[in-house]
Amino acid sequence: MAQPSARTARSQRRRFVNGVFVVACGGAAAIALLMLAFILWSLVLKGIGGIDLQLFTMTQPAPGSQGGLGNAIVGSLLLCGLGMVIALVIGILAGTWLSEYGGRTRYGHTVRFLNDVLLSAPSILIGLFVYQIMVAHVVGHFSALAGAVALGILAMPVVTRTTEDILSLQPTALREAGMALGATRAFVTRKIVWRAGLAGLVTAGLLGFARISGETAPLLFTSLGNQFYSTSLTKPIASLPTTIFQFALSAYDDWQQLAWSGALLIAAFVLAINIAGRVLARESR
């Protein structure tokens, strides 16, 4: 009788520990969702009042004047777009090499480790690095090109890691069938493996874009900002994060309203990109 009693007590204790663990996990998830809902509610409550047509069509105003964030929106799209071109070209090729060619070698493990380190590097360090290389020496002044390079470096490890994971999930039979027909490995990778993982590659781009769309620190050291419309790659350019940073710290109510509206735009855009990335990743699997 003693052994069944001991097993019953042990079973009850395990069920109790399991229940505590489930409740703790559920409570942590609830707290995280509550904080996210509070942040989104604050953005909507304070930023929705400034969402109108002139927000997208007019440039940054002087204090007390009418204006919008048109130049900052155009600048952010230009910076993020050019940064993603850099990140996609290097990231997809690097991820393909890790998945298809040298991923299991010692050099491949080193590249993967360094990519993971870069993935977790603070964005301000990337900004300082690009400032020292491009702003202080190569270009000689703040520019949109320097900002795009900084954003591209930030997005590149995200694209690399996602590309490697997506291509590694593709069946080996696809590669074997292509090479059995006489195709080279490079041809099979480009025409078969990339096409099979196309949804995942698009997801990699979307995740990288979401990673850099709200970055402020690297742009303060590289593109600086501009109160006028500018699409020149060799001159300072406005961006939503730097404009929000400047306006949120000001003492003017109209500038603070524009800062809240700009923050709402970025949050909505990043949320939409993440949802699209999740949907495409699900289709890829």
Quick: pLDDT tens for 58-83: 999 988 899 999 999 999 999 999 99
Residues 199/283, Cβ–Cβ less than 8 Å: yes
Residues 138/132, Cβ–Cβ less than 8 Å: no
Q: Does the predicted TM-score (pTM) go above 0.85?
A: yes
Mean pLDDT across the chain, nearest whole number? 91
Q: How many CB atoms are located within 10 Å of the residue 248 CB?
A: 14
Assess whether pLDDT exceeds 50 at residue 100. Answer: yes
Q: Stretch 179-195: mean pLDDT, rounded?
A: 92
Question: What pLDDT, on a 0 to 100 scale, did the predictor assign at position 3?
Answer: 64
Scored b (16 or more CB within 10 A) or e, 164-190 reads: bbbbeebeeeebeebeeeebeeeebbe
Q: Stretch 36-46: mean pLDDT, rounded?
A: 93
285 pLDDT band, cuts 50/70/90, is low
Question: What pLDDT, on a 0 to 100 scale, did the predictor assign at position 1?
Answer: 47
Assess whether pLDDT exceeds 50 at residue 188. Answer: yes
**CB proximity list for 107: less than 8 A, separation 6 or greater:** none
